[in-house]
């Protein structure tokens, strides 16, 4: 299978590119600035068997189109793993509208931007897999991560709605919901850019800093979950027979509550779809 992965400069993206390629799949590992700030990751991946490193900024229409055209020239794309993502950790009011928009541009609009270029090819072949890396914070929320939560809630809504639209074209959608895992993602989380507004929340700012420090301490300890849980789930979905893939998979270590939310939402959604005579668009296995 030919797999395009976004955000391969670090974290789940880089690990997924390595692991999926090892299993014999052709991987298009995309990232921003592979010849500059991400050259180390790009050079590491480019020497791996079955990996082609391509430049792609998911916020740029031209960049996405160029990368997809290169993939098509190399045999096409069977699966897209929407992995690229950023976040802001801090009081929501202290993020400017422009900063909030930046989060949505990467985490949501970038996904749609890429889908618009790959879906025509998948529809023509009547097959394909769209794999979305969401979060447990795409169903539940925490303070100080408002823009990230909002982007992931929006991503889940988009992925599910689009999934119903493309399923009769042979294209399947799967949403993975990891919790916090050790990765470079947390080291790249942005801080709110309006320092003046932040001064109005001294207690909340201190609490946000404390929670962030405790989370980082946990993720650097032996008790931290294994990031391979997530990449293994990606690989399992890639290699699963069409028609057997669930729409959502909760991967958070304490995912009992998340699975319960998913199940309840699935039942309500299914009832609504059946009420609208759209049951033929429901996946065979909605949740795991």
Beta-carbon count within 10 A of 244 CB? 11
Active site residue 152: yes
220 catalytically annotated: no
Instruction: Out of 117, 132, 144, 148, pick the active-site residue.
Output: 148
Q: Given 9, 95, 147, 183, which residue is catalytic?
A: 9
Rounded to the nearest angstrom, the gap between the alpha carbon of residue 214 and the centroid of all alpha carbons in its chain is: 24
Q: What is the 3-state secondary structure (H, E, C) of 226-240?
A: CCHHHHHHHHHHHHC
Active site residue 134: yes
CA-atom Rg of the chain in angstroms:
19
C-alpha closest to that of 114 among 159, 53, 150, 73: 159
| Per-position b or e across 84-106, b if 16+ CB within 10 A of its CB | bbbbbbbbbebbeeebbebbebb
Between CA 167 and CA 277 the distance in angstroms is 15
Q: Where are the beta strands (DSSP E) in the chain?
A: 2-5, 26-31, 51-55, 79-82, 128-133, 171-177, 246-250, 285-287
Is residue 46 annotated as a catalytic residue, yes or no?
A: no
Written as one string, the DSSP assignment of 83-98 is -----B-S-GGGS-HH
Q: Which of the residues 95, 134, 151, 173 is marked catalytic?
A: 134
117, 132, 151, 152: the active-site residue: 152
- Positions marked catalytic: 9, 134, 148, 152
């Amino acid at each position: 299978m030919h797999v395009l992965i976004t955000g391969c400069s670090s974290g789940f993206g880089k690990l997924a590119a390595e692991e999926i390629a090892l299993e014999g799949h052709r991987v298009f590992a995309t990232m921003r600035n592979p010849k500059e700030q991400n050259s180390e990751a790009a050079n590491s991946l480019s020497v791996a068997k079955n990996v082609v490193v391509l430049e792609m900024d998911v916020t740029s229409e031209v960049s996405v189109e160029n990368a997809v055209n290169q993939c098509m020239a190399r045999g096409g794309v069977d699966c897209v793993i929407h992995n690229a993502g950023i976040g802001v950790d801090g009081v929501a009011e202290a993020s400017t509208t422009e900063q909030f928009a930046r989060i949505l541009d990467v985490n949501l609009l970038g996904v749609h931007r890429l889908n618009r270029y790959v879906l025509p090819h998948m529809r023509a072949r009547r097959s394909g897999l769209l794999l979305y890396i969401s979060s447990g914070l795409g169903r539940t929320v925490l303070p100080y991560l408002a823009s990230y939560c909002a982007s992931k809630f929006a991503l889940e809504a988009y992925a599910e709605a689009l999934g119903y639209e493309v399923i009769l074209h042979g294209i399947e959608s799967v949403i993975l919901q990891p919790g916090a895992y050790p990765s470079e993602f947390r080291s790249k989380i942005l801080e709110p850019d309006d320092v003046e507004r932040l001064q109005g929340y001294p207690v909340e700012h201190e609490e946000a800093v404390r929670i962030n420090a405790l989370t980082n301490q946990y993720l650097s300890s032996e008790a931290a979950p294994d990031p391979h849980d997530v990449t293994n789930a990606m690989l399992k979905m890639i290699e699963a027979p069409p028609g057997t893939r669930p729409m959502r998979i909760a991967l958070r270590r304490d995912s009992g509550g998340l699975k319960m939310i998913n199940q309840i939402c699935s039942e309500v959604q299914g009832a609504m779809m059946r009420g609208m005579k759209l049951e033929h668009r429901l996946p065979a296995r909605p949740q795991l």
